[in-house]
Amino acid sequence: MVHMTEIEAALARVIDPELGADIVDLGMVKNVQIDGGTVTVKIALTIAACPLRNQIENEVVRKLKAVPGVIDVEIEIGAMTQAERTALMERARLRAREQAEPTMVHPNTRVVAVSSGKGGVGKSSLSANLALAIAGQGHRVGLLDADIWGFSIPRILGLGGERLEAGAEGKIIPAESHGLQVVSTGLLLDDEDTALMWRGLMLSKALEQFLRDVAWPQDLDYLLLDMPPGTGDVQMALARLLPQAEMVVVTTPQLAAQKVAARVADMARRSHMPVIGVIENMSGFTAPDGRHYPLFGSGGGNALAEDLGVELLGAVPIDPRVAEGGDAGSPVVVVEPDSAAAVAIATAAKALTSLLPPIADDGCSARLTLVAEQLAKMG
């Protein structure tokens, strides 16, 4: 006679290869029926056409046929609802958070990865100015230049002559600019023209060092990461090292840029990293006579936000003072706070912090959850 407890135990040994958790814990097993020696299992996948469907089905059959008394296994495949997919992602993120190795980033620090699908959309300038705008709201902010090859944050923030130094216990001390705590590979080199000829493993190891060997202040409200463009090693390492990270996607109004930006959002979804909003950069140019010119088209930011089901946090117009300030180490939100670009960036920063308030400002349940997580990590 086949017992349900044995069937459930066997199903709990079937691991979803993408999410790294068993299909019972992930809520993918919807129904089990036993009729003599035949077991029928209904499984809901994230999408019915999941590429891993055959692998999961085969594992279910193999595990169940090992149960004494099971002669035949029938599997019914369905698709999860949107609510079920959301719950699954939350469980997967919780597991990743529990299993992540510790970093020097405090659990109360909000981590925001400023990302783009491709280069040339002004992501680094936006990251630096966005961090400064958030700091201007009275928050303590760190900025990590995770674009290991294409670092530009030191120049934008006027840190060309600064170098990172070791402090107590050999930990790296962040540089400081305009009140921001800043780390970049550019602050390790004597010449910013030096090419870093590193391959994938070294890139992810560099990010790991910046998170584990830097003495990030424990009272940081936000840590912004200026991510490299695309969906490569650094992005995947971030999802593993900081599972609490959330993403802001930067695009231009151009349709091609919007489509490429959608890929980085898809990577975030696959890595269980929430996308909290979209910022459209280079959103047209307004001439001194007041006429507006959509040099890179229009609507890309709105379209991407709608496709992703998130907010358009802001639309930043083309302003020569952004580039000029970046080259001179004088960010536009600091030296030209009333300019159209600076105002748009400040608006985006306000929208971001409204959606993602500092942990200390969250409700009691959020604080209790954080305490429970910290106690669990302490054993």
Question: Whole-angstrom distance between the N-terminal and C-terminal Cα of the chain?
Answer: 41
Instruction: Domain ranges for the chain, please list them.
Output: 4-81, 98-375
Give pLDDT, residue 315.
94
Q: What is the mean pLDDT of residues 176-198?
A: 77
- Sign of the torsion formed by the C-alpha atoms of 117, 113, 327 and 320: positive
**For residues 278 and 305, is the Cβ–Cβ distance under 8 A?**
yes
Strands 311-315 and 175-177: unpaired
Q: What is the mean pLDDT of residues 159-180?
A: 87
Q: At 374, is the pLDDT very low, low, confident or very high (cuts 50, 70, 90)?
A: very low
Q: At 367, is the pLDDT very low, low, confident or very high (cuts 50, 70, 90)?
A: very low
- What percentage of the chain has pLDDT greater than the value 90? 35
- 98-375: CATH topology is Rossmann fold (3.40.50)
Give pLDDT, residue 371.
43
pTM beyond cutoff 0.75? no
Does residue 332 carry a pLDDT above 70? yes
Euclidean distance between CA atoms 164 and 174, whole angstroms: 6
Give pLDDT, residue 209.
85
Give pLDDT, residue 221.
94
Q: Which CATH architecture has domain 4-81?
A: 2-Layer Sandwich (3.30)
Q: What is the pLDDT of residues 70-80, one digit of tens each?
A: 999 999 998 88
Q: How far is CA 21 from CA 17, 93, 94, 330, 340, in A?
A: 8, 11, 11, 48, 48
Give pLDDT, residue 199.
52
Higher pLDDT, 107 or 114: 114
Cβ neighbors of 118 (< 8 A, separation 6 or more) are 229, 230, 257, 260, 261
Locus of tokens 């900025």: 143
Q: What is the pLDDT of residues 189-231, one digit of tens each?
A: 766 666 554 555 566 677 788 888 899 999 999 999 998 876 5
Q: What is the mean pLDDT of residues 240-251?
A: 84
Euclidean distance between CA atoms 372 and 192, whole angstroms: 44
Q: What is the pLDDT of residues 271-311, one digit of tens each?
A: 667 889 999 999 888 788 878 887 777 788 898 999 888 99
Q: What is the mean pLDDT of residues 169-191?
A: 86
Whole-number mean pLDDT of the chain? 83
Q: At 244, is the pLDDT very low, low, confident or very high (cuts 50, 70, 90)?
A: confident
Does residue 151 carry a pLDDT above 80? yes
